[in-house]
Structure 1
Amino acid sequence: MHDRAPRSRLATHSVDNQPLPPHDRNLFALDRPLRDTLAREAPAWVARRLAPLGAAVGSREFQALGEEANRHPPELRLFDRHGRRLDEVHYHPAYHQLMHLAFDHGWHTVAWEEEFQGGHQAHVAALYLLTQAEPGFCCPVTMTHAAVPALRREPSVYNTWYSRLQAWDYDPRAVPAWEKPAVTLGMAMTEKQGGSDVRANTTQAVRDDEGYRLTGHKWFCSAPMSDAFLTLAQTDEGLGCFLVPRFTPDGERNAIELQRLKDKCGNRANASAEIEYRGAWAEAIGAPDRGISTILEMVQQTRLDAATAPPGMMRQALLEAWLHVRERHAFGRRLAEQPLMRRVIADLALETEASLALAMRTALAFDTPLDPHERALARLLPALAKYWHNKRGPGFMAEAMECLGGIGYVEETPLARLYREAPVNSIWEGSGNVICLDVLRSLERNPECIDALRDELLTARGQSRDYDQAVSQLETLLTRPAEEIEANARWLTQRMAQCLQAALLLRHAPEAVAQTFCRSRLGQDVSPAYGVLPYGAPLDAILSRIVP
């Protein structure tokens, strides 16, 4: 970190017409849509607790840590110098500092400490902010948070792990869990031959006197230095869910062999491994033939986080683009004053605000499960938001990158990193087609989800002609034959998500934002490209919400 301004007078020229060097920013204080949402929906303690986090993640220190964690990806160490197996992943110190930022302040556990009291809204808002420091390290935060509902299916296991899962601490040491004040949990479900079709898994679980022994492979194991992993394996009764610790009860390293780390397109700071269970010791979680329903308790939570990361990355990209164009001049005036650039930035701002609104609305539903309407929304909304936010992400990052010109394409700005990161949450926890089919299953098996959706959309009827027409078209599609609905599952999922976003904006956002969103997303002249807004769009009012 440099405390003095870099030298701008060089031997052959002066460096001018460039944005000022980065400085400390409070990403919570700068984010009016987030603060408005929390003030309206969440208990007052949520905003108070988030304010210091916003200052931390926006500081030059933590922004630099995010860059360093990506520049120095994890390294696999299979053996020690004498040939004994280690099966360890070593991370750059920047990664560990980011983990401390999240775990030392309880963002992995706030949803359960404050369950039914705004905890999920706090967790989702925190993840949205943490993502703006570095998305990759949020993976173990998400999984440690999300494991709790699944572990509750097996009270004896849950009681053993609970205190360390809930500890406000981070301990990266490779030692047995009972020697640590705090632990993290990971997940290993996917196998080569099945992918999302986990019923095709071949990993076998055989009961012994102390628990189960697992033998098989996993094509993706997220955060392989976690203290234990939730995994799926075949039993005599069917597909079961198991907790596999890194150390056995006698203190030995469990037979979890890391084969290699994935060389991923993005998500560089986070390790993803191929592993083999060689008779690894495990404990059953739930009934031995109910593994899918058990793991879905975790997946519902991880999908909400996978729906939240894109708005966080959008917000970071939007802020970088807007601050750049406000200080950069071309053709005699600031880029921020030029009509085409203003339309592009305003369109990105609309997408960011709409995505955040849907993520936070889903968190509110998670916080109020005793209400039948909210419980039905909690079943449906994570899939809708995960699908649509992630489909909008890659194009968003490309457009934000273009706003910076050539410098946006190089690694010295966060845009290139965000662009590489953008597809990952669309693939993890169910790719697009899988998510859309899950939406159809939810609507078929839980008719109350359709009723809750209709009730939610009804609250905004009559405020926008484009919105009303889109909702009517959605109703028509929902009445079509099942085979036709399945073939159009992507359009149905997209339209439900967009209509929900529009309903939230119509109810809660300024009219300029809500009406322009409806006209540009639901109207007659919708464009797949960002920056194509209706004639007469109130750009000043939209742009004024990016920063105070």
Structure 2
Amino acid sequence: MTSVLHNRWEKSKLVLDVESYQSYEAVAMPSVKRHMIESYNEKDEDIFAKMRVEEGFRLIPFEEGNPYTTDTVLPGLLKRLLPYEVHKEAGPQLERLGKVIHTEMRAWSAKVSEPRLVQYDHWGKRIDDLQTSEGWRGLKELIQKEGFVNIFYERRYHEHSRTLGFAMELLAVGDSQVVFCPMSMTDGASRVIELVGTPALKQEVIPRLVSRDPSIAFTAGQWMTERPGGSDVSQTETVATDRGVLSPYGPIYTLKGLKWFSSATDSDVALALARTGDPSLGSRSLSLFLIPMRIPLFHSPTQPRVSHLTNGIKIHRLKDKIGTKILPTAELELDETEGYLLGGLNQGVKLITPVLNITRIHSAISSAGYLRKCLAIATSYSQTRAIKSGKQLLKDTPLHVALCGQDLTWTLYGAFDPILGAAMEECMAALGGQGYMEEDGIGIALRDALAEKIWEGTVTVLALDVVRAASKPEVLKAFSLWADSIVASCPFTLRNQLATPLETLRTTLNQVISAYSFPIPELVPRPALLVFAHTAAALYLLEHAVWAHKLHEPSRDTDVEVFRRWVEEAGLSGLVDDLKVSKNATKETLEFNERIVYGDRNGNPAKAHL
């Protein structure tokens, strides 16, 4: 009792300044103390004694579980995409992988910490020691052992190997701490060497890039971005000089320059663009090189790896990013760095294209995978969190289920730019204040997923890529024929049920084809890309719904409803309206855009014009 009263009295002092307290102590203290003693009863002591976290109300932890067996979409999708014999093998494999993710992968993920760069030792010698965490290294080894890259080149399932491999990544990426960044570039490097590498590279380097043995396995980086150009490689400053020496891996060149953004800096090799011709030729005088991160290229597994400095690679600093913080990304200087020419001279942009194509697919899969992770957390939480004085679970609350149902629909095409972030934020809000906590995992997934929107090109860059592709008449023709075949496959019984969304889809398809009719107005590429992406997603959903309907799959009614909602409720009409506005933009529209953003020519704020 005495200690309780003392604590109360000490707390009361905090509201008084020193002078007031001295007066208060002399006049009022005796009566206050007397009142506190008279008002005290034995129940107070019991209450104070029980004010411990472990004895109060505690939330029931949610159990996320096996990502494959708890997924409501992926098993059915793979059933359609994979031949029967492949699917029969894939199911048990993915279920086993799900257990590995649930146990080993999440355990390694919990042990990660940000990389650290030690540039100089105690004696002033430059060492550029890049230190990564035990968790990061454990994740890389797990990914290698599970064959996330190997499956693509083992080709056991022929053309379906990619489908199964990306399904594996979809399940794992949410717990990967962005380890699929180096793995995607390892995949791309393997393909480039497979296409244009020397026999020695194919025999000695590819087996390491795709190896399941972490003690010898390589990972690869990709160095394109430089300070002047960003995504525009035509302004590349790095210069490669022919040494006049031919090695088994190709002609040896010396590279000198600075790569401003090098992901996966802890890799073993990297693909890099460097200038080998007249700078005035822009990207037409760039060549592609394979660069060993260390010399010699191969080292004994029992010996520690030597420094990047052995090949003239200086790490100036690690990037301070908004997300992907566990992934070591750096600014690198190439100072007399050895590299091997891949393919023909001055054909670098063309030769590195397979890397861009492959890593963009990985990036899209990652976007959907992060959203899948967030939804899995939200739905798991809804099965343990009770509301209404603990009498009703969130999963039994129609309003909450409707929100999760909408997010699940968007998960199918989580890479779609306007939806990704919004849906992930909704998953966070579905947990209330708990969702804002780092421990739940939604925060890191959201930050890491943001990188996928710009990693292999911003929306604007991708929009211009589509414009370049659409400039070839056969491209749009192929898309149109494919789209028509999907719509035509819809059986009569389903057409009546989906009359409105099918008509909307047909109209939108015409808008897409029209948007890429040359000449294309300046403001059209971005909204055209968004309509194109939304339309393509609708076609994929229709294809799946038709399959489920024809085969009387248990999910057939749900699949049809998802298609309908995607077309009618996911904002397609708004995107089409934006496209129409962009098509009709005039010179005056462009001028007002500048004034709204930058003010008028006299420097006055845009508000003066509104």
Q: Same fold (TM over 0.5)?
A: yes
User: Is structure 2 residue 145 aligned with structure 1 residue 104?
Assistant: yes
Residue 508 of structure 1 pairs with residue 558 of structure 2: no
- 2:217 pairs with 1:153: no
Distance 1:415 1:527 in 2: 31
- 1:287 aligns with 344
Task: Give the 3-state SS of the residue equivalent to 1:87 in structure 2.
Answer: strand
Q: What is the one-letter code of the residue matched to 2:136?
A: Y
Relative distance call for 1:92 and 1:13 in structure 2 (3 A) is closer
> C-alpha separation between the residues in 1 aligned to 2:573 and 2:476?
28
Q: Is 1:239–2:283 an aligned residue pair?
A: no
What secondary structure does 2:95 align onto?
helix
Q: Residue 225 in 1 paired to residue 266 in 2?
A: yes
Bigger helix fraction: 2
AA of the residue aligned to 1:245 = P
Cα distance between partner residues in 2 of 1:526 and 1:491: 7
The answer on 1:494 being equivalent to 2:494 is no
Displacement of 1:489 in angstroms is: 1.7
Percentage of pairs with the same residue: 25
Matched, 1:321 2:378: yes
Say if 2:170 is the partner of 1:131.
no
Code of the residue aligned with 1:352 in structure 2: it is T
CA distance in 2, matches of 1:351, 1:457: 24
**Structure 1 residues 482, 235: closer, same or farther in 2, change over 3 A?**
same
Scaled by the length of structure 2, what TM-score is found? 0.73
3-state SS of 2:129 partner: strand
Deviation at 1:309, TM superposition (A): 0.3
Is 1:275 the counterpart of 2:332 in the alignment? yes
| Alignment root-mean-square deviation, CA | 2.5
Which of 234, 237, 253 pairs up with 1:212? 253
**Is the 2:290–2:341 contact (alpha carbons within 8 Å) kept by the matching residues of 1?**
yes
Report 1:462-481 matches (<5 A).
462=495, 463-480=498-515, 481=517
Aligned pairs for 1:82-101 (under 5 A) are 82-101=123-142
1:79 positional shift: 3.6
What secondary structure sits across from 2:439 in the alignment? coil
Higher mean alpha-carbon deviation, 145-154 vs 247-256, is at 247-256
Amino acid at match of 2:265: P
Query: Are residues 117 and 471 of structure 1, via their aligned partners in 2, closer, same or farther at CA, if it must alter by over 3 Å?
Result: same
Of the three residues 78, 97, 103, the one matched with 1:53 is: 97
Paired residues of 1:440 and 1:486 also in contact (CA < 8 A):
no
| Aligned residue in 2 for 1:38 | 78
SS in 1 for 2:320: coil
User: What is the alpha-carbon distance in structure 2 between the residues aligned to residue 13 and residue 216 of structure 1?
Assistant: 58
Q: Radius of gyration: which is bigger?
A: 2
Q: Distance in 2 between matches of 1:92 and 1:317?
A: 25
Question: Would you say the 8 A contact 2:469–2:475 is kept in 1?
Answer: no
1:273-320 Cα offsets, whole Å, 9 max, x none, are 100000100001111211001111111000000000011111110011
Q: Determine which of 82, 90, 105 is the counterpart of 1:62.
A: 105
Q: How far did residue 493 of structure 1 move?
A: 1.6
Length-normalised TM-score, structure 1: 0.81
**Corresponding letter in the other structure for 1:65:** W
Q: How far apart are residue 17 of structure 1 and its match?
A: 6.6
2:433 corresponds to which residue?
406
SS at match of 1:106: coil
1:451-488 Cα shifts (integer Å, max 9, x gaps): 23442354135444224323323313422553445522
Residue 434 (str. 1) matches residue 461 (str. 2): yes
The DSSP-based 3-state class of the residue aligned with 2:222 is: strand
Aligned residue pairs, count: 475
Query: Which amino acid counterpart does residue 532 of structure 2 have in structure 1?
Result: M
Contact conserved, 1:390 with 1:425, CA < 8 A, in 2? no
Q: Structure 1 residue 518 and structure 2 residue 554: aligned?
A: no
Q: Is the 8 A contact 2:374 2:424 kept in 1?
A: yes
Letter in 2 for 1:342: V
Give distance in 2, aligned partners of 1:197 and 1:524. 33
Q: Is the 8 A contact 2:262 2:329 kept in 1?
A: yes
Q: Distance in 1 between matches of 2:499 and 2:51?
A: 56
Q: Distance in 2 between matches of 1:153 and 1:527?
A: 42
Q: Do 2:453 and 2:459's aligned partners in 1 also have CA atoms closer than 8 Å? A: yes
1:450: Cα distance to partner?
A: 3.8
Give the distance between the partners of 2:125 and 2:342, measured in 1 at CA: 31
Question: Which deviates further from its counterpart, 12-21 or 514-523?
Answer: 12-21
Code of the aligned partner of 2:475:
E
Matched residue, 2:315? 258
Q: Distance in 2 between matches of 1:486 and 1:426?
A: 22
Query: SS at 2:273's partner residue?
Result: strand
Q: Which amino acid aligns with 1:40?
A: R
What is the deviation of 1:82? 4.4
- CA deviations on 1:406-436 (whole Å, 9 max, x unpaired) are 1211211101111211210111111110001
- Read off the aligned partner of 2:186 and give its amino acid letter: T
Q: What residue identity is the alignment partner of 1:499? A: T
In 2: Cα distance, 1:138 partner to 1:303 partner: 12
Instruction: Tell me if structure 2 keeps the 8 A contact 1:286–1:294.
Output: yes
SS state of the match for residue 263, structure 1? coil
SS at match of 1:128: helix
Instruction: Return the offset for 1:65.
Output: 2.5
Give the conservation status (yes or no) of the 8 Å contact 1:306–1:425: yes
Paired residue for 2:182?
Answer: 140
Q: Which has the higher contact order (CA 8 A, sep 6+)?
A: 1
Distance 1:486 1:300, change over 3 A: farther
SS of aligned partner of 2:335: strand
- Counterpart position of 1:175: none
- Deviation, 1:527, is 13
Q: Distance in 2 between matches of 1:117 and 1:501?
A: 22
Unmatched runs of 5 consecutive residues or more in structure 2: 1-49, 246-251, 279-284, 299-305, 489-494, 546-558, 578-610
Counterpart of 1:215 in structure 2: which amino acid? K
SS where residue 327 of structure 1 aligns? Answer: coil
